[in-house]
C-alpha cells in the first residue's frame, strides 16, 4: 500500500479554505442586509441613500467621495437649485423675484374730461396739433388739426373783352396769400346789324368791330336761335308746381363748404355752359361759364327761393348778383335748403360744335327732389 508524505497537512489546508469562504459569504449577506435597511430608511424620508461603490460604506455628507469611496447620487437634498431646501453658496448672486401681474390690466387709455389740449393752432397755411395724456399710464396721444380755409377778398376784377383776357386777383385776409386767375378773352361775336336807313353791317355785337363787307358772309347763319332761355340743371317748374313753363330750377343745400357745379341748359335741349356755386366760410358765390364765345347773352338773373310755396308765388324770391359773395343765411335764416333759379336770355348757334345735345339725369333729379322734402 502506497502512502503519500504530507497528506495530513493537505486536508488541513482544504478545511481552512472552506471556513474562510463561509465567513466571506456571511459578511456579504450581512452587508446586503445593512444596505437594504439604509435604502428603506431613505425611501421613508423621501431622499435617496448613498451607494457604496466598493464596500457599501456610507460616505460623509457634503464631501466629495474619493476614488474607491462612496459615490453620492446627483439629486441629493440641498444640491439641486430648484430644491427649496438648497443652500446658496457664499458669494453667489440671487435672482430678483419677478413683478406679479397687476390685478387690473391697463386695457384702454383714460383721458381727462376736459379733452384735448391745443399745442399748435391751425392756420390756412399749416395744420395744427393737439394732444391728450392718459391718466393711467401717462402716454401722450397727438392728432392733427386740419388747416383752415382761406378767407378770400377780391382786390382786382377785370372783365374779359373780345381780345383781352379777364383778371381776378384776390388775397386771403388771414395769411395775405395772393391768388391770381385769368379768364380767356371772349372773342368777337359777329352778326348782321341794320341801321335806321336799312344799311347792314357785319359787326361784333360785343365791341362793335365791323368786319370787311367783302369778306363777310352775305347772310347770317340759318341755325341761330334768338333770345332763347338758358337755365341751370334741375327739375322743371312744370314738374314741381304745375303750369306750362318748362324753366328748370336747382334745389341745393348751402350748409357745407365746397364747390358745386351744374350744367346750363338752353331751350331744354342743349348743354351750353356750367353754373358754379362756391360755399366758403358761410358765404356763397354764384357764377357761370359758357362753352362757346359765340353765345350772346342779352340778360341774366339769379334768384333764390326758400321753398316751393315761394316758387309757386313767383314774387317771393330774393334776387342777387352773379360773381358777388352773398350770405344767404342773412336772408333765409337757418334754412340752408333753398331753390336757385338762374335765367339767361341769349342768342346761340345750334351748329356751334361747343354746344352739345342735353341728356337728362334722372338719378341727379331724384337727389335734388329729396332736398325739397
pLDDT per residue as tens digits for the range 171-193: 998 898 888 888 788 788 877 77
Do residues 245 and 366 both lie within one domain? Answer: yes
Given 148, 179, 212, the domain boundary residue is: 148
> In this structure, is residue 240 part of a structural domain?
yes
Say which residue, 285 or 109, is predicted with more confidence.
285
Close Cβ partners of 260 (under 8 Å, ≥ 6 residues apart) = 252, 276, 277, 278, 279
- 284 neighbors 330 (Cβ within 8 angstroms): no
pLDDT, one tens digit per residue, over 67-86 is 444 444 444 444 444 444 44
**pLDDT at residue 219 is higher than 70:** no
Q: Which of 148, 179, 206 is the last residue of a domain?
A: 148
Single pTM value for the model: 0.43
Indicate if 129 and 234 belong to the same structural domain. Answer: no
How many other C-beta atoms are found inside a 10 Å radius of the C-beta of residue 339? Answer: 24
Q: Domain boundary at 96, 126, 148, which?
A: 148
Are 238 and 320 part of one and the same domain? yes
In a domain, 80, yes or no: no
Nearest alpha carbon to residue 262 among 279, 281, 249, 245: 249
Task: Tell me how far apart the alpha carbons of residues 369 and 251 are, in angstroms, rounded to a whole number.
Answer: 7
In a domain, 242, yes or no: yes
Note the pLDDT tens digit of each residue in 269-302.
899 999 999 999 889 999 999 999 889 999 999 9
Q: Is residue 122 part of a domain?
A: yes
Place of cell 383714460: 110
Within this chain, do residues 140 and 234 fall inside the same structural domain, yes or no? no
Is residue 241 domain-shared with residue 334, that is, in the same domain? yes
- Terminal-residue alpha carbon distance, the chain: 155
- Could you tell me where the DSSP H helices lie in the chain? 7-45, 237-241, 308-313, 329-332, 362-370
Give domain status of residue 206, yes or no.
no
The answer to whether residues 137 and 232 belong to one domain is no
The answer as to whether 26 is a domain residue is no
d(CA 20, CA 23): 5
Q: In angstroms, rounded to a whole number, what is the distance separating the alpha carbons of residues 224 and 242?
A: 30
Query: 134 and 279: one domain?
Result: no
Structural domain of 266: 221-373
Total of domains in the chain: 2
DSSP letter at 236?
B
* Residue 287 belongs to a domain: yes
Domain co-membership, 137 together with 231: no
Q: What is the mean pLDDT of the chain?
A: 77
pLDDT of residue 105: 55
Q: Average of pLDDT values for 106-123?
A: 83
Clarify whether residues 227 and 373 are in a common domain.
Answer: yes
What are the residues facing 346 on neighbouring strands?
228, 297
135 and 245 both lie in a single domain: no
Strand (E) or helix (H) holding 229: strand 224-232
In the structure, how many helices (H) and strands (E) does the chain have?
A: 5, 19
Report the C-alpha gap between 184 and 166 in whole angstroms.
6
| Cα(63)–Cα(70) distance, integer angstroms | 10
Q: What is the pLDDT of residue 56?
A: 44
Please indicate whether residue 159 or residue 304 has the higher confidence score (pLDDT): 304
CA distance 144 to 119: 10
How are beta strands 190-194 and 178-183 bridged, if at all? unpaired
Residue 291 · residue 348 · CB < 8 Å: no
| 236 located within any domain | yes
Please tell me whether residues 237 and 345 are part of one structural domain: yes
Task: Inform me whether the pLDDT recorded for 267 exceeds 60.
Answer: yes
| Closest listed residue to residue 343, CA positions, set 314, 287, 300, 285 | 300
Band the pLDDT of 214: cuts 50, 70, 90: low
* 311 Cβ neighbours under 8 A, 6+ residues apart: 237, 240, 241, 249, 305, 317, 339, 341
In angstroms, rounded to a whole number, what is the distance separating the alpha carbons of residues 57 and 365? 110
345 forms bridges with which residues in the sheet? 229, 299
pLDDT at residue 208 in the model: 83
Give tens-digit pLDDT for 23-40. 888 888 888 888 877 777
Q: Are 159 and 166 in contact (CB under 8 A)?
A: yes
> What's the rounded mean pLDDT across residues 161-167?
86
pLDDT given for residue 28 in this prediction: 83
- One domain for residues 144 and 226: no
pLDDT tens across 243-259, in order? Answer: 777 789 999 998 888 99
Amino acid at each position: 500500500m502506497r502512502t503519500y508524505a504530507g497528506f495530513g497537512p493537505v486536508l488541513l489546508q482544504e478545511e481552512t479554505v472552506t471556513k474562510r469562504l463561509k465567513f466571506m459569504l456571511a459578511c456579504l449577506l450581512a452587508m446586503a442586509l445593512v444596505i437594504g435597511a439604509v435604502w428603506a430608511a431613505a425611501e421613508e424620508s423621501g431622499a435617496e441613500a448613498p451607494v457604496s461603490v466598493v464596500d457599501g460604506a456610507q460616505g460623509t455628507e457634503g464631501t466629495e467621495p474619493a476614488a474607491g469611496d462612496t459615490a453620492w447620487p446627483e439629486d441629493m437634498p440641498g444640491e439641486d437649485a430648484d430644491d427649496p431646501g438648497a443652500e446658496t453658496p457664499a458669494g453667489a448672486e440671487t435672482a430678483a423675484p419677478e413683478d406679479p401681474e397687476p390685478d387690473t390690466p391697463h386695457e384702454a387709455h383714460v383721458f381727462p374730461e376736459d379733452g384735448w389740449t391745443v399745442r399748435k393752432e391751425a392756420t390756412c397755411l399749416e395744420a395744427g396739433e393737439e394732444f391728450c395724456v392718459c391718466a393711467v399710464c401717462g402716454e401722450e396721444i397727438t392728432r392733427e388739426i386740419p388747416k383752415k380755409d382761406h378767407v378770400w377778398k377780391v382786390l382786382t376784377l377785370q372783365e374779359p373783352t373780345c381780345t383781352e383776357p379777364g383778371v381776378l386777383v384776390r388775397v386771403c385776409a388771414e395769411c395775405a396769400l395772393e391768388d391770381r386767375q385769368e379768364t380767356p378773352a371772349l372773342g368777337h361775336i359777329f352778326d348782321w346789324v341794320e341801321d335806321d336807313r336799312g344799311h347792314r353791317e357785319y359787326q361784333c355785337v360785343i365791341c362793335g368791330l365791323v368786319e370787311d363787307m367783302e369778306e363777310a358772309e352775305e347772310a347770317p347763319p340759318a341755325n341761330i336761335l334768338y333770345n332763347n332761355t338758358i337755365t341751370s340743371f334741375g327739375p322743371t317748374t312744370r314738374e314741381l308746381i304745375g303750369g306750362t313753363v318748362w324753366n328748370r330750377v336747382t334745389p341745393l343745400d348751402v350748409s357745407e363748404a365746397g364747390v358745386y357745379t351744374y350744367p346750363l341748359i338752353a331751350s331744354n335741349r342743349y348743354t351750353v355752359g356750367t353754373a358754379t356755386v362756391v360755399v366758403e366760410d358761410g358765404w356763397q358765390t354764384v357764377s357761370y361759364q359758357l362753352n362757346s364765345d359765340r353765345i350772346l347773352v342779352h340778360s341774366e338773373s339769379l334768384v333764390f327761393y326758400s321753398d316751393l310755396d315761394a316758387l309757386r308765388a313767383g314774387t317771393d324770391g330774393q334776387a342777387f348778383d352773379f360773381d358777388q359773395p352773398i350770405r344767404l343765411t342773412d336772408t333765409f335764416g337757418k334754412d340752408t335748403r333753398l331753390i336757385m333759379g338762374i335765367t339767361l336770355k341769349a342768342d346761340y348757334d345750334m351748329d356751334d360744335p361747343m354746344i352739345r345735345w342735353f341728356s337728362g339725369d334722372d338719378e341727379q333729379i331724384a337727389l335734388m327732389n329729396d332736398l325739397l322734402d
